[in-house]
Amino acid sequence: MTDKKKRTDSSMTDQELVEAHASLNREKHPPTVGFLYAPLIFVFVFGCLIFVCSIQLAHTTNNFQLHPPREVVELSPEEKEALRIERKVESGKKVFAARCASCHQDNGQGIPGQFPPLDGSKWVTSDPGLISNIIIMGLKGEIEVKGVTYGTNPAQNMVAVPINNREIANVVTYVRQAWSNEATEVLEEEVSAFRAESSEQSEQWTGEQLREMYPSAFSTE
Name the residues that contact ligand HEC, by CB under 6 A. Answer: 99-100, 102-104, 115-118, 121, 123-124, 131, 134-135, 139-141, 143, 145, 150-151, 156-158, 161, 171, 175
> Quick one: which of 68, 218, 43 has its CA closest to 129?
218
Closer residue to ligand HEC, CB minimum distance, 87 or 94: 94
Closer residue to ligand HEC, CB minimum distance, 1 or 141: 141
Residue nearest ligand HEC (C-beta atom): 151
What is the nearest approach in angstroms of ligand HEC to the Cβ of residue 200?
A: 19
Cα(86)–Cα(185) distance, rounded to whole angstroms? 11
What is the nearest approach in angstroms of ligand HEC to the Cβ of residue 220?
A: 16
Closer residue to ligand HEC, CB minimum distance, 156 or 209: 156
What is the nearest approach in angstroms of ligand HEC to the Cβ of residue 99?
A: 4
Cα(90)–Cα(84) distance, rounded to whole angstroms? 10
What is the nearest approach in angstroms of ligand HEC to the Cβ of residue 63?
A: 46
Closer residue to ligand HEC, CB minimum distance, 89 or 145: 145
Instruction: Give the distance, in angstroms, between the CA of residue 142 and the centroid of all CA atoms in the same chain.
Output: 44
Closer residue to ligand HEC, CB minimum distance, 161 or 213: 161
What is the nearest approach in angstroms of ligand HEC to the Cβ of residue 207?
A: 6
